[in-house]
Amino acid sequence: MTFHVLILCTHNSARSVLAEGMLNHWAARLGRDVKAHSAGSAPSGRINPLAIEALQNAGIDSSAYRSKSWDEFSRDDAPPLSIVITVCDSAAAETCPVFFGGHSGQPVKVHWGYPDPSNAEGGDAGKRRAFELTRQAIG
């Protein structure tokens, strides 16, 4: 039986995608039957290219990833969720999405607050560093 984990952030373009990639990477590497998914309450419709770059630099294939709404995980055909993790930074006054359940009972809910690497200072180099540091921290 596959253990499904949903990682949420508001726009599903950076932190949640990094977490999806890292969890799927580690699950495969450790031979665990875990499948990570990511979504957002207000998806941007695109994944930040620096998130893709950070995952690719770590050897993680993100070609099938897309920015999507958490509504996909409330449908009858959605995978049964065991854990829902929010990764937005409440210290930065971001609104974190709230997940109200799954069809197989209530999933465990966890919050990991990470600052948005998209807001890092220092131009492109600063943002790239922030994305890589966030990927490492989540990993």
Q: Which of 54, 81, 88, 138 is catalytic?
A: 88
Which amino acid would we find at residue 121? E
Ordered mean pLDDT values, 10 residues apiece, the chain (139 residues): 92 95 96 96 93 97 93 88 86 55 70 91 96 95
Is 100 part of the annotated catalytic residue set? no
Give the Å distances, CA to CA, from 49 to 68, 86, 127, 134, 138.
16, 21, 11, 14, 18
Report the first-to-last Cα separation within the chain, whole angstroms: 24
- Gap between the Cα atoms of 79 and 104, Å rounded: 9
Is 47 part of the annotated catalytic residue set? no
- Gap between the Cα atoms of 119 and 11, Å rounded: 13
Give pLDDT, residue 36.
97
Q: Which of 9, 39, 55, 60 is catalytic?
A: 9
Give pLDDT, residue 126.
97
Residue closest to 135 by CA, chosen among 54, 59, 70: 54
- What are the backbone dihedrals phi and psi of residue 107, each rounded to the nearest 5 degrees, phi first? -75, 160
Give pLDDT, residue 10.
86
Query: What would the two tokens of residue 55 be?
Result: 């995952």
Q: Which of 96, 109, 128, 133 is catalytic?
A: 96
Give pLDDT, residue 56.
97
Give pLDDT, residue 49.
96
Residue closest to 112 by CA, chosen among 86, 76, 81: 86
As a whole number of angstroms, the longest Cα–Cα distance in the chain is 45
Give pLDDT, residue 106.
79
Is 135 part of the annotated catalytic residue set? no
| Global confidence as pTM | 0.89
Domains and CATH numbers, the chain: 3-138 (3.40.50.2300)
